Amino acid sequence: MLMLTEPTVSLLLGTAAALAAFHTLIGVDHSVPFIVLGRARGWSLRRTLGVTGVCGLAHVASSVLIGSLGVGLGIALDRLAWLESTRGQVAAGLMIGFGLAYAAWAFWRGLRGHAHTHLHTHADGTVHAHTHDHQREHLHPHGVGRGVTPWALFLIFAFGPCEALIPLMMVPAVERSWSVLAAVVGVFGLFTVGTMLAVVTLGYLGLSHARLGVFDGRIDVLAGLTIAASGAAVLFLGI
């Protein structure tokens, strides 16, 4: 049986920090959606980081909950690993679906937003042209997508697993060292969310100064397709 000596605990916590940062850095889905949506929706950096932080906490908390249930019920690690893998596939599929749906909505909104002209004839025979813009009249007052987008991301990240966390939790759980278990969870969560916030900050600042040329008017469509691509990268490439 592994004894949790001080060097062992230090190694365990260091591993938790390193794995948390690494899995966040290589996981494009941990940062790209927030960066492109921040630009597309015109969110401030503060709001973008707020949404990122909440989604990151949900991302870690769901795996903590499953790991804790596994520890309490004595479920084998390989079964938990299978469950986390399945959750990862579901989350990636949801991200692809969300990205494509967002791109389709943005494309439709763009088509509705094209100004066109109506001819109006008055009783005295005067005819004049009137420019009409559906996007400003109909879409903006309803705020389509404003409240839905953060909640969609939250649900996707709540489904998304932290595959590396549960095996780390099992080490102190076997020894019934609950304080070390709490420390592992805390360190992993801190480095996961902290890395997400750091990467999103850098990406947000970089993209806010980028000139997209002809794509600037289609930034919402581009954001949706980018989100779908990041979900596809997770699902098919495992990154």
Per-residue pLDDT of 78-126, as tens digits, reads 778 788 888 889 999 999 999 999 999 888 887 776 544 444 444 544 4
Angle at 212 between CA 22 and CA 148, to 5 degrees: 65
Band of the pLDDT at 215, cuts 50, 70, 90?
Answer: low
For the CA atoms of 140, 142, 144, 146, what is the dihedral angle to 10 degrees?
90
Residue with more model confidence, 182 or 212: 182
Domain spans of the chain?
20-111+150-237
Query: In the prediction, which pLDDT does 130 show?
Result: 47
Which residues in 204-221 are b (16+ Cβ under 10 Å) and which e? beeeeeeeeeeeeebbbb
Query: In the prediction, which pLDDT does 16 show?
Result: 96
> E strand or H helix at 161, and its extent?
none
Instruction: Write the pLDDT tens digit of every residue in 17-62.
Output: 999 999 999 989 999 999 999 988 889 999 999 999 999 999 999 9
Instruction: Write the pLDDT tens digit of every residue in 137-149.
Output: 443 433 445 567 8
Q: Name the residue with tokens 């397709």.
A: 225
One DSSP character per residue, 134-146 reads HIIIIIHHHTTTT
* β-pairing verdict for 116-121 and 127-132: antiparallel
Residue with more model confidence, 169 or 119: 169
| pLDDT (mean) for 201-221 | 80
Number of H helices, E strands in the chain: 10, 2
213 has pLDDT over 80 = no
d(CA 100, CA 52): 20
pTM: 0.80
